[in-house]
Amino acid sequence: MTFEWDWAYTQEILPILGKASIITVQATVIGFILAALIGLVFALLRMSTLAPVRLATGAVVEFIRSTPLLIQIFFVYFVLPEFGVTMDAMTAGILALGLHYGSYCSEVYRAGLDNIPKGQWEAATALNLSTLTTFKDIIIPQAIPPVVPALGNYLVALFKETPLLSAIAVLELMQTAKILGSESFQYTEPITLVGLFFLFFSLVSAALVRQVEAWLKTRHGGA
Amino acid sequence: MSADHPSAAPMVRFENVRKSYGHLTVLDDLNLDIAPNEKVAIIGPSGSGKTTVLRMLMTLEEVNDGVIWVEGDPLTHMYRDGKLVRANKRHIRQVRSKIGMVFQHFNLFPHMSAVKNCMEAPITVLGLSRDEAYERSRVLLDMVGLGDKLDHYPGQLSGGQKQRVAIARALAMRPKIMLFDEVTSALDPELVGEVLNVIRELGEAHDLTMLMVTHQMGFAKEFADRVCFFYAGKIAEQGTPDAFFGNPQNERTQQFLSAVLEAD
Ligand SMILES: Nc1ncnc2c1ncn2[C@@H]1O[C@H](COP(=O)(O)OP(=O)(O)OP(=O)(O)O)[C@@H](O)[C@H]1O
Ligand SMILES: [Mg+2]
């Protein structure tokens, strides 16, 4: 059996996959912004002086981290409507990605927050800064730069898991490739192209994360 | 209490203050009055509770018993229905605004330039405009000899320069009471002088009550109005520098002084 790569077919589907890749990138970017914010909120809630808040947040984070993303995607899309929360597949998928990776990011932030020397808190108290100002101006700006590489890893990981959204028929790259394949009975070209798309974007985002890291290192006179 | 005659009240009063960590009693029934504008040097062996005294006054540690007063107002406590109860956060913040502190390890904000370090609290706590806060900070940094380092980050400054920024930063809040905890201990010997000079000038030029934990006996002698010698959680002896250094009464004081003076 000989195999021939079909260039004509490739040319035909490339624009379609190109459009679908926009959906994938959208889901990645919005999902990650959501994850970064949710993660920070979780991490801060886990520092609350109120024990119930701390414990409840810890339980939620632990629960989300120990259940599969695919189940969470189904849950948000199919189960939440039972409770009157309805959303389209894309929104549900992004929300699930944000929650799932948010709980991972919260651990990253926690490590960053824990590493702030006690003296920084004490200086903030001695200057009579409010709790809000202390977090906003003193603690968070110092806690985040060291954890950017770890957050960047989750960005790439989240990106590579976006094909799971095909399970609820979001027309991202994977779902589009599956549809193309089933229409033409030619799976090789679409699936290979999707792989190449992912490779390309992974390399680009990894390079971007490294740039940001390098930039963070040179600020503040290198201190 | 003399809450209605603040001018007659001491600037700081420790009243029967006790502090312990678990079974370890660090300060035992401390009573200490400090007059407005008074400069008090706190000396004593390691672990005698010197830092703890300052940290309780800065509200970085809670007292187990007793009350700390500032200008006749309770700091650790507040009045409710005419009775003293534990202070809430809001009350503490209000009274604490009269106190500033300089730490052994500077504790500057590393992500902010020298001038930003000084501007932060005046803007966010006192509500100054950026321009006002900048001007106030510039004047103070100038006073501590860093007028040409406003935009330098802590990582670009020497230890002595960092500590002088920390002093300016505390002063930017216009405190009435300044606490110094071994502020030259982390410095190379040749940088100690520049920081002590700033403190000396401060004491002369401003109405400031100062409490200073120090191992610099020479500086304590010339600068302080009173020296308090702590030993095992108590004030074992106190007096004017002349009396204290010239004619120490307590056996512990004599031992301590001969040990440190020998070491010098
Ligand atoms: N957070 C804490 N937990 C437990 N023990 C503590 C704590 N802080 C201080 N101590 C103990 O309290 C005692 C007094 O400490 P403090 O720091 O006030 O001593 P110091 O006089 O400042 O000593 P040094 O000259 O070494 O700075 C010490 O025995 C110390 O180990
Ligand atoms: Mg100490």
Structural domain count of chain B: 1
Residue A140 lies in a domain: yes
| pLDDT band with cut points at 50, 70 and 90 for residue B261 | confident
Does residue B1 register a pLDDT over 50? no
| pLDDT band with cut points at 50, 70 and 90 for residue B2 | very low
Residue B254 lies in a domain: yes
Report the pLDDT averaged over residues A97-121: 97
| pLDDT band with cut points at 50, 70 and 90 for residue B75 | very high
Count how many residues are written for chain A. Answer: 223
> pLDDT by residue (tens digit) across A170-212?
999 999 999 999 999 999 999 999 999 999 999 998 899 889 8
Q: Which residues contact A198 (CB under 8 A, 6 or more apart)?
A: A159, A160, A173
Report the pLDDT averaged over residues A114-133: 97
CA distance B88 to chain A (A): 14
Residue A42 lies in a domain: yes
- Nearest atom in ligand 1 to B45's CA: 25
Structural domain count of chain A: 1
pLDDT of residue A222: 55
Mark yes or no for CB contact A122/B93 under 8 Å.
no
Rg (CA), chain B: 19
Residue A111 lies in a domain: yes
Domain holding A136, by residue range, is 23-170
Does residue B3 register a pLDDT over 70? no
Instruction: Name which of A128, A131, A217 to mutate to probe chain B: the one with the most chain B Cβ atoms within 10 A of its Cβ.
Output: A128
Nearest to A120 by CA among B218, B103, B143, B172: B103
Asked whether B47 lines ligand 1 (CB < 6 A), one says yes
Which residues, in sequence order, are bridge partners of residue B27? Answer: B19
Residue B63 lies in a domain: yes
pLDDT of residue B9: 86
| pLDDT band with cut points at 50, 70 and 90 for residue A95 | very high
> pLDDT by residue (tens digit) across B48-62?
999 999 999 999 999
The answer to whether the beta carbons of residues B54 and B213 sit under 8 Å apart is yes
Residue B85 lies in a domain: yes
d(CA A56, CA A60): 6
Asked whether B247 lines ligand 1 (CB < 6 A), one says no
| DSSP notation for chain A | ------HHHHHHHHHHHHHHHHHHHHHHHHHHHHHHHHHHHHHHHTT-SSHHHHHHHHHHHHHHHTS-HHHHHHIIIIIGGGGT----HHHHHHHHHHHHHHHHHHHHHHHHHHTS-HHHHHHHHHTT--HHHIIIIIIHHHHSGGGHHHHHHHHHHHHHHGGGGGGGT--SHHHHHHHHHHHHS--HHHHHHHHHHHHHHHHHHHHHHHHHHHHHHHSGGG-
CA distance A151 to chain B (A): 20
Nearest CA, atom 3, ligand 1:
B21
Domain holding B46, by residue range, is 1-98+225-264
Residue A187 lies in a domain: no
Mark yes or no for CB contact B124/A129 under 8 Å.
yes
Percent of chain A with pLDDT over 70: 98
140-179 in chain A: CB under 8 A from chain B: 141-142
pLDDT of residue B81: 93
Nearest CA, atom 20, ligand 1:
B47
Average pLDDT taken over every residue of chain A: 93
Q: Provide the CATH number for the domain around residue A108.
A: 1.10.3720.10
Which residues, in sequence order, are bridge partners of residue B20? Answer: B25
Residue B72 lies in a domain: yes
Residue B91 lies in a domain: yes
pLDDT of residue B262: 76
The answer to whether the beta carbons of residues A147 and A109 sit under 8 Å apart is yes
| pLDDT band with cut points at 50, 70 and 90 for residue A221 | low
Work out the burial of residue A119: count CB atoms within 10 Å of its CB; fewer than 13 is exposed, 13-18 middle, 19 or more buried.
middle
Residue A223 lies in a domain: no
Q: Provide the CATH number for the domain around residue B59.
A: 3.40.50.300
> pLDDT by residue (tens digit) across B6-39?
557 899 999 999 999 999 999 999 999 999 999 9
